Structure 1
Amino acid sequence: MRINKYISETGLYPRRETDRMISAGRITINGRVCEKGDNVEPEDIVAVDGAPITIAEREPVYLVLNKPIGITCTSARQVEGNIIDFVGYPSRIFAVGRLDKPSEGLILLTNDGGIVNQMMRSENGHEKEYVVTVDKPVTEDFLEKMAGGVEILGTRTKLCVTYKISKTQFGIILTQGLNLQIRRMCKELGYRVLRLERIRIMNITLNGLERGQWRHLGNDELSELLDRLND
């Protein structure tokens, strides 16, 4: 098993964080500092910062949080207002993807490294839906340009779905997740985002969850999510 997959299946760290730790020389296999792409055999001893770890049987955890503004989507406990301390779950979990600090709404947290990797692959085109409030009236021209793709970060955003909600509010459904994508798209078209809320990831919605509250995914929600990921 590849070292980054092995680490993610322990439930301790998602694969991206594992890759950063490998680059920093913090992970060893049988006492040897490992390299990205190394394989782990059943008899090998894998350690992070000198502390041995193993894949153990554990109950998978899937949470939905209605994230408030000001909470940072990081597992780094030294960051004030980090999402892990905010949720306060008794076992180790991590966020699936990100919502920037000034944004709010739906985010998933889990100890299942496999589902994180499936959901984060941009080529899979998983839908994420947002409600956006801007600083001036939403026009049909603006909605069409947002839906057709906007040049940001040296690339053109993928086609997406947009719809008007009110004079200064619109909905948008994305299938990609560039850094600060919606804020950058709006800025490029002369608008400033005043409020950004995610209301859906694939089949998962807030379903009446109050701001700052979290809940476990229901069995039906989880089954449908896994079916979609495995299609």
Structure 2
Amino acid sequence: MSSVILFNKPFGVLSQFTPEAGHPALDQFGFPPGIYAAGRLDHDSEGALLLTDDGKLIKRLLDPKFEHPRTYLAQVEGKITKEAVQKLMQGVTFKGYRSKPCTAEIATEPEWLWPRNPPVRFRANIPTSWVRLTLIEGKNRQVRHMTAAVGFPTLRLIRTRIGNVELGDLQPGQWRAVTEKIL
């Protein structure tokens, strides 16, 4: 029987078991032996990360042809517009790549949101806003590239859902066994 774990990856932690370049890694969170990250989140992103000992599941989650959905909340610099959200939904071009259409909507800062350490830089004369995106692809730093392409750089990025598995009330550094169907 394979095991699947949902982990709320804290800001600054690498999605690997070996620390590198001064960043802590997954080895410090007490996971059962033999599991591996099924995908990744950059060290400066937070939220849902799946870990498993099921190689076939990892392959399926990482293979772009399966187009499994991943939902993100992004805090962006500036007051995001409906026009920018529309562009995100249609797909944008970054680094010579055109993103697939996605779902996107203006969001509010969630009540359940934990403080980030270190906090997002605050600038009195530049407001921030939130956008929720659900993508079916996972290029390197894609959400950050997409929001920047429409004029709203990402300041904070939290993955809240992978397939059918939602982060829920897991706090940074906490994990639980996944019992629900993932895809």
Please list every run of 5 or more consecutive structure 1 residues that lacks an aligned counterpart in the other structure: 1-58
Q: What is the distance in 2 between the residues matched to 1:111 and 1:192?
A: 36
Among candidates 95, 98, 104, match of residue 153 of structure 1: 95
Higher Rg of the two aligned structures: 1
Aligned residues: 162
- Give the root-mean-square deviation of aligned CA atoms: 1.4
Among candidates 74, 81, 88, match of residue 24 of structure 2: 81
Deviates more, 1:154-163 or 1:89-98: 89-98
2:68 touches 2:163 (CA, 8 Å); kept in 1?
yes
Per-residue CA distance 1:129-178 (angstroms, 9 max, x = gap) = 00110010010001001111111131200000001113711100000001
The structure whose residues are more often helix, as a share, is: 1
- Structural mapping, 1:160-175, within 5 Å: 160-166=102-108, 168-175=129-136
Match of 1:97 in 2: 39
Answer 1 or 2: higher relative contact order, Cα 8 Å, separation at least 6: 2
Indicate whether 1:132 and 2:74 are aligned.
yes
Runs ≥4 residues deviating over 3 A? none
Please list every run of 5 or more consecutive structure 2 residues that lacks an aligned counterpart in the other structure: 109-127
Q: Percent identity?
A: 33
- Structural mapping, 1:173-188, within 5 Å: 173-188=134-149
2:68 touches 2:136 (CA, 8 Å); kept in 1?
yes
Match of 1:210 in 2: 171
Q: What is the distance in 1 between the residues matched to 2:41 and 2:25?
A: 12
TM-score by length of 2: 0.84
